[in-house]
C-alpha cells in the first residue's frame, strides 16, 4: 500500500515534466513560420546613425530566396550592414544547435518567450543568439547575436500586424571601431576634433532598415 | 577705356607665355586627376577601414566628384602660381620691352591704363578658373563617372550626386575669389618692382606665406575672419553639411575689399611713379 502511495506521489511530482515541451519543441511554431518563407523581394530604405558619419537616407533593393544569401543592389553608394539582413534567421538554424529556454520577458507590455540558440558545431558563424519572440503571433521582436568574427549586434523588429510574416522595420545596433583619420584626405582640418576622435575607440552604431515588400512567397 | 581693355586683352593672347601657362594648367589638371585615381582607392580604403567589419559597400566612391574634390585641394596653390606669372607679366613685359613709353606717347590716362590691366588680369583669372571648372567636371565625369562624394570634415560625410555637384561648383566660385586676389596682388607688386623675376619671387613668397599662415591657429575669431591667409580655404565651407553661406559671403566680401585695396594702391602708385 505504502509503495503504491509513494509511486502515485512520485508520478504526481513528475507530471509537469512528463507532458512538458522541450525548448526545441517550444521554438517549433516559430521555426515553421520562418522556414515557410521561401522568397521575397523588397525595396529598403537605409538610415545610418553612426557617430562621425553623415549620410543621407539611401534606397536599395533586396531579393531573398531560401537557402541563398540575401542579394542587395543599389543604384548609388550605400552602407549595408553585414548582419541583420537575415530576416528569416536561417543562418542560426543551418547547423545542429541547442535551444535553452530563458523563460519569459515582458517587452512593451507584450509577454515574449526568450530562448538562446547555441550552435553545436564550429561551422556556425555565431557563438550564441538570444531571441525574444511572441508565441501568439510567432514573430521575433528582438535578437542579440554574438558572432565569432563581427562582434555582438542587437536587432529590434517591428511588424505591420500580428499576421505579417516579415518586419517592416529592422533596427540593427552594433559596436564598431573608431574611424581612422586619413590625413591625406583632410578637408577643413581646423574643424576636426582629433582629440575627441582619438578618445572614442569603440563606438555604438545603429542602422534603421525600412522594408516595403514587393512580393513574399510562403 | 573700352579700347584700352580690347588692346590689353589682345596683347595678353599674343603672348606665348599665356599659352604655356594654359598648357601647364592642363598638365597639372591631368596629373592631379591621374594621381587622384591611383591614390583614391587607397584613401577610400583607409577612410572606410573602420566600417569594413560591419558593412558591405554597394556603389562606387572613386568617381568624378571625388576626383574633382582632390583637384580642388591642389588647385588653389597651382592656379595662383601660374596666374601670378601671366598677370604680373601684363605690366613687367611692358617695362622690359620699353613699350610702356610708346603707349604714353598716345593720349592715354595713366590710371585708365593700369586699371585696364587690372580688369584684364581679373577677367583672365576668372576665365581660367571657369575653364578649369568646366574641364574638371567634363573629364572627371567622363573618365570616372558620377556618384556620391565622400569628404572628411569632422567625420565622414557623404553627399549625393546633385548636392555634390553644386557644392563643387560653389567651391570653384569661392576659389575664383581667392585666385583673383592673388592675381591683383601680383600686378600691384609689378607696379612697384617693374622687373619680372623679382615680381614673381615676391608674389610667390606672398602666396607661400599665405598658405603657411592659413594653417596657423591665431586663437582669435576676428583674425580668422579678417586676415587674408585664413580666407584661403573659404571654398572648403561648401563641404560642411549645412553650408554657412553668411560666413562664405563675409569671407568673399573681405577678399573683395583686399583686392580693391591692392588695386587702388597699385593705381595710386602707378599714377605717381616715373615711367622710366
Rg, chain B, Cα only? 21
The nearest CA of chain A is from the CA of B35 a distance in Å of 13
Mention every residue, 6+ apart, whose C-beta is less than 8 A from residue B170.
Answer: B235, B238, B243, B248
Indicate if the pLDDT at residue B35 is higher than 50.
Answer: yes
Question: Does ipTM come in above 0.85?
Answer: no
Does B57 contact A77 at a Cβ distance shorter than 8 Å? yes
Does A72 contact B61 at a Cβ distance shorter than 8 Å? no
| Residue A78 to residue B61: CA distance in whole angstroms | 10
Question: Which of A51, A73, A191 lies nearest to residue B153, judging by beta carbons?
Answer: A191
pLDDT of B154-200, one tens digit each? 778 899 999 999 999 999 999 999 999 999 999 999 999 888 899 88
Mean pLDDT lowest among A5-14, A149-158, B29-38, B75-84: A5-14
pLDDT of A166-189, one tens digit each? 999 999 998 776 655 554 444 544
pLDDT for res A53:
85
Q: What percent of chain B has pLDDT over 90?
A: 34
Average pLDDT over residues B2-22: 85
pLDDT for res A108:
80
Average pLDDT over residues B198-206: 90
pLDDT for res B188:
94
Between B260 and B53, the higher pLDDT residue:
B260
Between B238 and A125, the higher pLDDT residue:
B238
Mean pLDDT lowest among A21-25, B139-143, B226-230: A21-25
Segments of chain A with pLDDT less than 70: 1-20, 177-202
Residue of chain B whose alpha carbon sits nearest to that of A58:
B160
Does A185 contact B46 at a Cβ distance shorter than 8 Å? yes
Q: Which residues of chain A are at the B interface, by a Cβ-Cβ cutoff of 8 Å?
A: 50-56, 60, 72-83, 149-151, 174, 176-182, 184-193, 197, 205
**Long-range contacts of residues B98-103, Cβ cutoff 8 Å, at least 24 apart:** B100/B275, B101/B275, B101/B276
Q: What percent of chain B has pLDDT over 70?
A: 99
Averaged pLDDT score across all residues of chain B:
87
Does A77 contact B157 at a Cβ distance shorter than 8 Å? no
3 state SS of A167: coil
Between B42 and A114, the higher pLDDT residue:
A114
What class has domain A22-179+200-217? mainly beta
CB-based contact A57:A78 (threshold 8 Å) = no
pLDDT of B152-164, one tens digit each? 877 788 999 999 9
Does A191 contact B47 at a Cβ distance shorter than 8 Å? no
Does A184 contact B236 at a Cβ distance shorter than 8 Å? no
Q: Give the three cell numbers for residue B54.
A: 560591419
Give domain limits for chain A. 22-179+200-217
Buried/exposed B60-92: b ≥16 CB within 10 Å, e otherwise = ebbbbbbbbbbbbbebbebbbbbbbbbbbbbbb
Amino acid at each position: 500500500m505504502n509503495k503504491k502511495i509513494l509511486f502515485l506521489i512520485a508520478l504526481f511530482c513528475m507530471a509537469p515534466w512528463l507532458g512538458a515541451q522541450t525548448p526545441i519543441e517550444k521554438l517549433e511554431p516559430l521555426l515553421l513560420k520562418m522556414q515557410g518563407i521561401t522568397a521575397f523581394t523588397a525595396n529598403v530604405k537605409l538610415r545610418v546613425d553612426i557617430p562621425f558619419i553623415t549620410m543621407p537616407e539611401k534606397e536599395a533593393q533586396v531579393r531573398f530566396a531560401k537557402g541563398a544569401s540575401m542579394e542587395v543592389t543599389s543604384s548609388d553608394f550605400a552602407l549595408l550592414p553585414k548582419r541583420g539582413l537575415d530576416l528569416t534567421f536561417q543562418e542560426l538554424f543551418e547547423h545542429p544547435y541547442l535551444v535553452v529556454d530563458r523563460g519569459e520577458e515582458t517587452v512593451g507590455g507584450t509577454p515574449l518567450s526568450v530562448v538562446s540558440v547555441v550552435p553545436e558545431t564550429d561551422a556556425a558563424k555565431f557563438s550564441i543568439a538570444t531571441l525574444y519572440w511572441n508565441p501568439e503571433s510567432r514573430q521575433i521582436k528582438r535578437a542579440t547575436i554574438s558572432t565569432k568574427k563581427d562582434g555582438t549586434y542587437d536587432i529590434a523588429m517591428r511588424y505591420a500586424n500580428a499576421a505579417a510574416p516579415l518586419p517592416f522595420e529592422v533596427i540593427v545596433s552594433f559596436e564598431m571601431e573608431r574611424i581612422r583619420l586619413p590625413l591625406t584626405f583632410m578637408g577643413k582640418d581646423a574643424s576636426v576634433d582629433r582629440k575627441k576622435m582619438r578618445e572614442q575607440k569603440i563606438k555604438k552604431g545603429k542602422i534603421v532598415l525600412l522594408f516595403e515588400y514587393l512580393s513574399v512567397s510562403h | 577705356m573700352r579700347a584700352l581693355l580690347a588692346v590689353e586683352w589682345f596683347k595678353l593672347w599674343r603672348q606665348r607665355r599665356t599659352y604655356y601657362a594654359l598648357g601647364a594648367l592642363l598638365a597639372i589638371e591631368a596629373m592631379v586627376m591621374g594621381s587622384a585615381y591611383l591614390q583614391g582607392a587607397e584613401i577610400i580604403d583607409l577612410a572606410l577601414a573602420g566600417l569594413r567589419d560591419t558593412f558591405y559597400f554597394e556603389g562606387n566612391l572613386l568617381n568624378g566628384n571625388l576626383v574633382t574634390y582632390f583637384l580642388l585641394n591642389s588647385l588653389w596653390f597651382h592656379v595662383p602660381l601660374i596666374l601670378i606669372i601671366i598677370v604680373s607679366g601684363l605690366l613687367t613685359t611692358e617695362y622690359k620691352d620699353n613699350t610702356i613709353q610708346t603707349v604714353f606717347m598716345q593720349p592715354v590716362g595713366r590710371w585708365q591704363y593700369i586699371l585696364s590691366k587690372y580688369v584684364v588680369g581679373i577677367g583672365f583669372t576668372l576665365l581660367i578658373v571657369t575653364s578649369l571648372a568646366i574641364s574638371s567636371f567634363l573629364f572627371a565625369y567622363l573618365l570616372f563617372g558620377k556618384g556620391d562624394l565622400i569628404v572628411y570634415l569632422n567625420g565622414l560625410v557623404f553627399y549625393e550626386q546633385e548636392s555634390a555637384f553644386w557644392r563643387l561648383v560653389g567651391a570653384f566660385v569661392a576659389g575664383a575669389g581667392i585666385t583673383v586676389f592673388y592675381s591683383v596682388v601680383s600686378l600691384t607688386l609689378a607696379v612697384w618692382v617693374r622687373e619680372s623675376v623679382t615680381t614673381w619671387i615676391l608674389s610667390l613668397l606672398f602666396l607661400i606665406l599665405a598658405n603657411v599662415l592659413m594653417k596657423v591657429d591665431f586663437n582669435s575669431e576676428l583674425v580668422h575672419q579678417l586676415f587674408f591667409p585664413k580666407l584661403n580655404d573659404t571654398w572648403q565651407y561648401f563641404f560642411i553639411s549645412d553650408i554657412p553661406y553668411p560666413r562664405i559671403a563675409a569671407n568673399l566680401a573681405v577678399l573683395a575689399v583686399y583686392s580693391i585695396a591692392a588695386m587702388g594702391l597699385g593705381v595710386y602708385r602707378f599714377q605717381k611713379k616715373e615711367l622710366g
